[in-house]
Amino acid sequence: MNSYSSKLLEDAVNEFAKLPGIGRKSALRLALHLLKQQTDDVEQFGKSIIKMRNEMKQCAVCHNISDVDTCEICANPKRDRSIVCVVEDIRDVMAIENTSQFVGLYHVLGGIISPMEGIGPDDLQIGSLVSRVQSGEIKEVIMALSTTIEGDTTNFYIFKRLKDTNIKITTIARGISIGDELEYADEITLGRSILNRTPYHSGL
């Protein structure tokens, strides 16, 4: 049990420790770091967090995070609107964008099917993906989910929902090792996996 000379410091440490990957020692280090900063800098830090939480939007088209109703990627006329890359969350969008190898649009599911965690298809943005495909503009859907059991289950479910459409359904090449999370793949490997994507087969 840590002993703090200040309840204010203890409260700050408790809040930092709630962040993922932050233990109590790291939380204390962060809190003490802020104490050494100028008041204006700390206030700006706090305001930016509150502003992000209160004003951040979800793109009405792809469900990526955005400052406005339609994100910059969806609003960019230079993107290929006939290709949509399906990803688990916004971190995967960032990872793929960093490769500079993909010029289409995205669809962020907001997770993957995981019965163990109580996450089913209705908890994800799968229905809106089907609606986008039915609009007729999309010619190819690339399923770029993590190569885990949950990712493969989600791929299969989406394939079943889209198999009767006339679109091309592909999946990223298996340059990404089985069990890997997309966000941790290096840019070259991920970029090649997008470029060398293959037709999706439900038996995979």
Which pair of tokens denotes residue 176? 């990404």
Report the chain's terminal Cα–Cα distance, integer Å: 51
> What pLDDT is stored for residue 146 in this prediction?
84
The domains found in the chain, sorted by start residue, are: 7-55 (1.10.8.420), 76-199 (3.40.1360.10)
Q: What is the pLDDT of residues 187-198, one digit of tens each?
A: 656 666 776 677
> What pLDDT is stored for residue 99 in this prediction?
87
- Confirm if 18 and 29 have CB atoms less than 8 A apart: no
The mean predicted confidence, pLDDT, of the chain is 88
> What pLDDT is stored for residue 182 in this prediction?
53
- Confirm if 105 and 71 have CB atoms less than 8 A apart: no
